[in-house]
Structure 1
Amino acid sequence: MFAAPDQDRKPSPDDAVTPSADRPLAYLFLDFNAYFASVEQHDHPELRGRPVIVTPLASEHTGAIAASYEARGYGIRRGTPVRDARRMCPGIAVMPARHDRYVAVHKLLMKEIERHLPLDKIYSIDEAAFRLSRSERDPARAVETARRVKQGIAENVGPALRASVGLAPSRLLAKLAAERVKPDGLTVLEARDLPHKLADMTLTDIPGVGAGVMNRLEKAGIDNFLKLWNLQPKQARAIWGSVMGERFWYGLHGFETVEEPTKKSMIGHSRVLTREHETPDKARIVARALLLKAASRLRHYGLFASSLSLSARLRPEGGWETARRFSHSQDSFLFLKTLDDMWETFLTRQRREGPAPRIGGVTVYLHGLSKPGETAIDQLDLFAEPAQAETDSRRAGLWKAIDDINADLDAKFRRLGAPSGEAKRHISLASQSGLALNYLGAKIAFSRVPEEAEFMY
Structure 2
Amino acid sequence: MVTASLRWLYLDLNSYFAHVEQQLDPSLRGQPVVVAPVDSDSTSAIAASYEAKKFGIRTGTKIHEARALCRDIRVVPARHGEYVRFHHAIIAEVERHVPVTAVCSIDEVACRLLDNENAPAAVTALAARIKAGIRAHVGECLTVSIGVAPNRLLAKMAADMQKPDGLTILPPETLAARLATLKLSDIPGVGRNMERRLAAAGIVTMERLLALTPREARLAWGSVWGERMHWLLQGADVAEVPTQQRSIGHSHVLGPDKRSPDRARLVARRLAAKAATRLRRAERTAGWIGLAVKAEARFGEKPAKWSSGLRLPQVMDTVTLLERLDTLWHRMRGEFGPQRYLQVSIVLGELGDAGAVQHDLFQGASAPGLFDGPSTPSAADAARRLALSVAMDKVNARFGRDAVTLGHDAAGASRSQGPRIAFTRIPELAEFHE
TM-score (norm. length: structure 1): 0.86
1:188 — aligned with what?
A: 169
2:278 — aligned with what?
A: 297
2:137 — aligned with what?
A: 156
User: Structure 1 pair 227/67, CA: closer, same or farther in 2 (3 Å)?
Assistant: same
- Secondary structure of the residue that 2:243 maps to in structure 1? coil
User: 1:152 and 1:235 mapped to 2: Cα distance?
Assistant: 45
Please report how far the alpha carbon of residue 264 of structure 1 lies from its aligned counterpart in structure 2 after TM superposition: 1.4
- Contact 2:80–2:421 (8 Å) recurs in 1: yes
User: 2:237 and 2:415 mapped to 1: Cα distance?
Assistant: 42
1:126 — aligned with what?
A: 107
2:341 — aligned with what?
A: 359
User: Structure 1 pair 274/311, CA: closer, same or farther in 2 (3 Å)?
Assistant: same
Of stretches 191-200 and 428-437 in structure 1, the one that deviates more from structure 2 is: 428-437
- Secondary structure of the residue that 1:437 maps to in structure 2? coil
User: 1:71 and 1:138 mapped to 2: Cα distance?
Assistant: 37
2:391 — aligned with what?
A: 401
Please point out which of 215, 238, 248 is paired with 1:257.
Answer: 238
Please report how far the alpha carbon of residue 381 of structure 1 lies from its aligned counterpart in structure 2 after TM superposition: 4.0
2:368 — aligned with what?
A: none
Please point out which of 417, 437, 441 is paired with 2:415.
Answer: 437
1:106 — aligned with what?
A: 87
- Contact 1:164–1:178 (8 Å) recurs in 2: yes
- Contact 2:38–2:253 (8 Å) recurs in 1: no
Unpaired segments ≥5 residues, structure 2? 298-302, 366-376
- Contact 1:61–1:274 (8 Å) recurs in 2: no
User: Structure 1 pair 350/72, CA: closer, same or farther in 2 (3 Å)?
Assistant: closer
Please point out which of 200, 207, 220 is paired with 1:219.
Answer: 200
Once the two structures are aligned, what percentage of the paired residues are identical?
A: 42
Unpaired segments ≥5 residues, structure 1? 1-17, 411-423
Please report how far the alpha carbon of residue 446 of structure 1 lies from its aligned counterpart in structure 2 after TM superposition: 1.3
Q: Which amino acid is the alignment partner of residue 343 of structure 2?
A: G
- Contact 1:213–1:239 (8 Å) recurs in 2: no
Within-5 A mapping of 1:38-437: 38-316=19-297, 317-351=303-337, 356-374=338-356, 377-378=357-358, 381-385=360-364, 388-410=378-400, 424-434=401-411, 435-437=413-415
- Contact 2:250–2:347 (8 Å) recurs in 1: yes
Q: Which amino acid is the alignment partner of residue 226 of structure 2?
A: G
Please report how far the alpha carbon of residue 304 of structure 1 lies from its aligned counterpart in structure 2 after TM superposition: 0.7
- Secondary structure of the residue that 1:74 maps to in structure 2? coil
- Secondary structure of the residue that 1:53 maps to in structure 2? strand
Aligned length: 417
Please report how far the alpha carbon of residue 383 of structure 1 lies from its aligned counterpart in structure 2 after TM superposition: 4.5
User: 1:262 and 1:44 mapped to 2: Cα distance?
Assistant: 38
- Contact 1:41–1:48 (8 Å) recurs in 2: yes
Root-mean-square deviation over aligned CA pairs: 2.0
Alpha-carbon displacement from aligned partner over 1:219-262 (angstroms, at most 9, x marks no partner): 22211101111223343334434443333222222222223432
User: 1:65 and 1:306 mapped to 2: Cα distance?
Assistant: 31
User: 2:428 and 2:84 mapped to 1: Cα distance?
Assistant: 8
Q: Which amino acid is the alignment partner of residue 84 of structure 1?
A: E
User: 1:438 and 1:431 mapped to 2: Cα distance?
Assistant: 14
Q: Which amino acid is the alignment partner of residue 371 of structure 1?
A: D
Please report how far the alpha carbon of residue 84 of structure 1 lies from its aligned counterpart in structure 2 after TM superposition: 3.3
Please report how far the alpha carbon of residue 444 of structure 1 lies from its aligned counterpart in structure 2 after TM superposition: 0.8
TM-score (norm. length: structure 2): 0.91
Q: Which amino acid is the alignment partner of residue 19 of structure 1?
A: V
